[in-house]
Amino acid sequence: MSINELPDDCLLLIFDLINELDDLLNCYKVCSKWSHLIAERTRKVKYLIEHQDWRNDELSLSYPFDWIYYRTEEPIDGTCLSTLFPNLMIADFSDRFRVKVKHEDIVKLVKKIKHLKGLFHPIHSDEGSVFQYCDELEMVSIKQIEPCIEKIGFNIKQLYLYNYRLDKFTENAHYFPNLERLYI
């Protein structure tokens, strides 16, 4: 029996166990049947994160079905990301992700997501910041406060600033009137 002879429900159960972005993207490219099933599986995803301990494969087993992680060193074809993750709520665009995915594919993804509530390590490049496409963010983890974030600061409830000082934040605190949690 070929794997494609399995009923769609069985294949979907198998795909629900795949949490690595590269594996899902590779399966998505196999055939139209798999593309449809992978798209159905990824609609459930709420969190796209960098795998924190990419040397320990046992940790990958503990991710719930609504989390997808990335850890590969290979470039990622990001052209289908906006199709696959329409319900993403939290995205981690660390340096590893930015090196592997083209800026325009990340912007396309962020523009298409209607319910995006949190960004870790958002992209700011010569091509612009993704903040300009994110009006509903409530949680942000960034290195420094950019002009684009000042415009959306009203909605932000949680802010994590790394490599930043409290005295510097006091100059910008007025941009975040609804801030509930601050970590510097």
* Higher-scoring residue by pLDDT: 11, 97: 11
Q: pTM for this structure?
A: 0.83
Q: Mean pLDDT, to the nearest integer, of 6-19?
A: 92
Residue 139's pLDDT is what?
A: 93
pLDDT at 1 over 90: no
pLDDT at 54 over 60: no
Beta bridge partners of 49: 69
DSSP E strand stretches across 11-151: 47-50, 67-70, 90-92, 118-120, 124-125, 128-129, 139-142
Residue 60's pLDDT is what?
A: 47
* Higher-scoring residue by pLDDT: 93, 180: 180
DSSP-based three-state secondary structure for 66: coil
**Per residue in 55-90, pLDDT tens?**
555 554 567 889 998 887 778 888 889 889 999 999
* Rounded distance between C-alpha atoms, residue 66 and residue 102, angstroms: 24
